[in-house]
Each structure stands twice: as C-alpha cells, then as structure tokens.
Amino acid sequence: MMRFLASLLLALATALPAAALPVRHVRAELVAEAQGIAPGQTIHVARRQQIETGWHTYWRNSGDSGEATRITWALPAGWQAGEFTWPAPRKLPVGPLMNYGYEGEVLLPVAITAPANAKPGDKVSLNAKAQFLVCAEICVPEDATLALTLPVTVGPAQPDPKWAKAIAQTLAQSPKPAGLAAVFQPHGTSVALAVTGAAIKSADKAGAYFYPFDATVIDHAKPQAIERGPEGLTLTLTSGYAFQGGKAPDAMAGVLAVGGRAYEISAAPGAAPAGASGLGPPRVAGQGGADLGLATAFVFALIGGLILNLMPCVFPILAMKAASLAGHGGESAAARRQGLAFGAGSILTFLALAAALIGLKAAGSAIGWGFQLQSPPVVAILALLMLAVALNLSGLFEVGTSLQGTGTGLASRGGLAGAFFTGALAVVVAAPCTAPFMGPALGWALTQTPAAALTVFLALGIGFAAPFVLVAYAPGLLSRLPRPGVWMETFRKALAFPMYGAAAWLAWVLSQQAGAGDLAKLFGAAVLVAMAGWLFGMAQKRAATGGKPLVLDVSAGLLAALALAAVVWPQDAAELTSEAYSPARLAELRAEGRPVFVNYTAAWCVSCQVNDKVAISTGQVRSAFARHRVTYLKADWTRRDATIAAELASHGRAGVPLYLVYGVSGGDPAILPSILTPDIVVKAVEAADKPKVASP
C-alpha cells in the first residue's frame, strides 16, 4: 500500500509543471524554551522538524548514505549560537544499507547566548537557514529560512508554556558522558569495542548498539555482535575505511545505546578491561583470571553447565527430548541408551565448538563464546531448523518413530541418532546463554593451553548433559513417568509451541544482525520449509497406503534446498563502468545512435544506493549493457548542481533517484521506476536497442 501511494504521489508530481515543485516533506520552525532572554543569559532554541509519515531525516553521522541536517545562523553582533544537541538516532535499514536518523517529530536544541550589553526592552531576531535531506523511496534536499523573535528581559524570562518541557526532556534524554570507560582493539577485519562502567553494569545489554560519530570507522551495515560481561559489554564491529592498510584512528567516539538509554563514549586503543565480556579476564572471589587454576575452572564450568539447563533459550530443546523420555514409560534399558546418546551429542558438540573457538582465537579473530550465532546465515538456518522441528511436532510430517510407539522402537538406531542430534542441537542453541560461573571458567580457559581449555569445556559439557543422563539412569524417576498412551500425541503437539517460539526468537536475532532485507528472505524461506513439510507429510501418507511418493518427496526436497539457498546465497554484484553525465556528452551519444542509461543519483540517497547494489551493479545488467552497447552516464547530485537540478525539474522530479533510458531511434527517454530490479533494467535497455518502425 505504501509503495502504491508513493507511486501515485510521484505520478501526480510528474503531471504538475516544474514551477509547482518541490513538495515540502518537512515542516521546520524555531522554538524556544523561554519567553525571552536576559543579558548574558544562555537559553536553548530548538529547530523543530515535523517529518511527513514514511520519510526521514538524518543524524550527525547519516550512516551508509544520507546527509546530516545543517543550520547557518545570522545573529546580531555579540550574540552566539552553539552546535546542535543531537538526540539519540534510530537505525534505518534499507536493503543492504544501514542509515541513522529520525522519523516523525524531532527537536534539535541549540544554546543561544545573549551578550552582556543586550538592552532590556529590545527585541532580538534570531535568523537561520537550515538545509536537510529528507528521504523515502526518493531523496529530496530541502532548505528552510527560519526566524524567531524574542524580547530581551531584565531577568530570566518565564519558561515557554508550550516548548519548555519538550526541550528540557530532549536535553535530558540526549546522549551525554556517564563516566563509562571504553577501549577498542583491532583484530583483522573487525574491531572489538569494550565498554564498562556503573551506568551499564546492570542494564539489559540485549540489543546494545554503537552509533559512531565518524562514518569511516565501521561498516554500518554489518551486525554488531554482543558479549555481555559482569561490568559491561564488548561489541565486535566490522572495521571500516579508517582501519584499512594497517591504520587505526586515535579514538572511536560515538553513542552507545543500551538498556533503553544512550551515552556518549570515546574509546582509546587498548585491551578490553576486566568484566567487559564473558571472555574477559574474570573476577571471581577477588582473584584474577590468571589465578583461577584448572581445578577451580573445572568446577565452575561443571556448575555453569548444570545451570545452563535452566536458561530459557535451551528449554524448547529439552522439552522436546522430555517427550522422548516419557515415551519409555519406565523401560530403563531404552531410556539409558537414549540418555547416553544425548550426553554424547552434547559433550562432543561442546568440544567441537570449543576447538573451533580456540582455533579462531589463535588466528586472531575477535569472537567469543556463542560465536555460531554471530553469523546471519547460521542464525537463519537454525531458525528454519527450529521451524521444521515444530512442524514435525505439530504432525505435519513424521521423522523417526511416532511418540506412541513402544520403548523398543524408541531404542532403535534411529532413536539413538535422534537423541544424539537433540543433544548437539541443544548445545548450539544454548551456548550463547552464558550461565553464572560459565564466564570466569571460559575466560580462564581461553587464556590457557588448548589441552587445559578443552578440559574446561569438557566439564561444561558434562554439567550440561548430566541432569538428562542421571534421569535416564534413575529407575525410580522413570517409574514415575506416565505410561505411553493417546495423551502423548496431545503432549507432543503442545511441545511444538516452544519450538515455534525458538524460531521466532532466532528471527528476531537475525533482524538485529542483518536488517529487514535478510529478515524478508528468512520469512520467504520459512514458507518454503512449511510447504516442503506438507508435501513430505503427504508423501508419507501416500507411501503408507501403497502409493508412490517419489514425486512428492523430490518436490519437498527441492523446496527445502531452495529455502536453504535463499538464506545463504551471496548477493550477485559486478562493477559497472560509467561516465560522468553532462548534457553535451548525452547529446553526443544520442547523435551517434547509441542506447544511453542515465542514473541521477547521490551518495546521500538511500534508494539510489540500494538500487545500485541490488539491481544495477549485477552481472545480469552488466551483460545486458555489453550486449546492447549501452553507455552508462552517472549524474552525481551529491553536491548540488544547478544543471542536474534543472534536468530533474524538466522531468517533473524534485529529487533523486531518476533513471532514464534513451533509445537508438531518438525521442523521449523511458523513465524507469524509483525501485528497480535487474529485470526492469534489462528489459528497458533491450527495448532501447530496437529501432522504432515508422507507421505507414
């Protein structure tokens, strides 16, 4: 609906004469916290902007594209204006880009100071010219001439009844230093940012995010992995241009959003302090990590593994396995085999993850425990796996023996493999939930030899697997379990809902890591997985009645493979050679009878950058340009250009993007949509290379 409305507005704008453009998408004015100002006094005057629904403006660092709001003051002699106090921004993910800015209404306060010789009774006119970029599917540079008149009072004036509270609230909630200690340390293509301090010690660190002041220090679009610690946190960021070629900035300053608050921080180069993450130098009973010792670390890891069973993130997996134990109905031999298989799967998976972590640490990678959930493709695959398990529990299809089968059936080869796999899956999902006692043990282990580290991880695996294995070996407990019966089918279906919840949680994790684009791909893949499960279930029913399930099985497999490819397949990209646009160059190419693709773009234009990554800079378009001898002209409006502005107006546009395709037969160009796909571009250049046939 939003795209339809945007297209309708765009069509109306195109139909209007150029003199009616541009349309204003931001209403701007100056408002003051006081009804006047005394000589020598400082008050706050805010630039208020009301942004049209569906549009946004930008923070001081706009991110991957965009442009920050600017203001130029024209004040009487002796009057002074400070810089904007920027409220905390919000993330504005658009396709493969990540931008920072504002939507709706926002106040940008500025401190205004009157000179000591200002005369009470006079009126002062505060004049300013504001420039800002406002974007939706297109980006439009706008400006506004602002003015505010205030009386000069003998003493401090009364607060403004309408704006004093709003400006004060904006100032109070805006990011400011809070005594936080911050350091950063490069590791290959990433940089670890560690922050500690009382202000965030007990804060909810889930969803913490760093907004840098400098656009070159990080890759904004990449996920920010979080390691929580008792004193703070460590964010693993993908380093930006400032770290290329072995360089490193003197500091990394910005805003840390955590626990519903935002704080200004300035990080200096250095090693992470104690307590910044679960892998930092641990503080246990007043001891440093180096003094913990193997025996103590082993015990702590054992206790941490036991407690890990109580973490919410592991409950869905253990609930699923509880249904398996209940199916034994007290048959201890089968239950013991199931318990041992589960324990083996858990312990071996802990050791495998530990070995990978130790190896990557030795290679210099900045990763921590739970690193398997720092990769968006892995998170997406796990979400689809949880969904498939939930669909199986809901009865859409069957994997292995039914829960209504006998204990002998559950103890078969397939049942043991299922128990082993359940133990492995439980570890993969549970590992990021660092339980009490785990942090110190893991932190100590990763500073020791591989043998000592693996010993600690072995203890962690034993602690995690122990409760399930002990229950399997306790006949008294098993005898208390209900006997198999019809009730188990209902129980099984009820257990599907924690698995659906786990899939939803992983989808949320992916949205925090990779943004709306990857989340949309996951949702599409989830539909394919559900359809594959349905077809697989139909194939099983057909096979049970003597039918031939091959076609259904193959179709289900193809859909499952397509779902997997959708979440792991890399984005196609190819560089396109372009020339700088000029009216003279365009006229020359048209005189030669060449097809021409003109891209009116800007570095600050969100839609432009998304279209370039997903539609223009692709192998499909590159091949089409080569086949049809298309010349690619790029009209860059990053810096305002009167010639380009006039060209935009001549086509009924107030902003970018604008895409024109000129054909070999002359005439008016084809105007492409603001949102492109490779197919749209390819079809347009193919049509442009076909001579028009004159009417008889």
The one-letter amino acid at 496: A
What residue segments make up the domains of the chain, in order of their start? 24-173, 177-269, 289-375+401-498, 579-688
Matching CATH topology for 24-173 and 579-688?
no
What SS3 class is residue 363?
coil
pLDDT at 358: 67
pLDDT at 78: 94
pLDDT at 147: 95
Fold of 24-173: Immunoglobulin-like (2.60.40)
Residues of the chain with pLDDT under 70: 1-23, 274-293, 307-332, 334-335, 357-375, 399-415, 418, 426, 428-449, 474-489, 491-492, 495, 512-517, 570-575, 692-696
Residue carrying structure tokens 């432009």: 608
Fold of 177-269: Immunoglobulin-like (2.60.40)
Q: At the fourth CATH level, which superfamily is domain 579-688? A: Glutaredoxin (3.40.30.10)
What SS3 class is residue 175?
coil
The Cα 219–Cα 97 span in angstroms is 10
Q: Is the dihedral of CA 202, 204, 205, 211 positive or negative?
A: negative
Q: Is this structure's pTM higher than 0.85?
A: no
H or E element in which residue 31 lies: strand 26-32
Contact 454, 354 (CB under 8 A): yes
User: How many other β-carbons are positioned within 10 Å of the β-carbon of residue 232?
Assistant: 30
Q: Tens digit of pLDDT for each residue in 478-501?
A: 555 555 556 656 766 776 787 788
Closest CA to 631 of 678, 597, 660, 665: 597
pLDDT at 589: 92
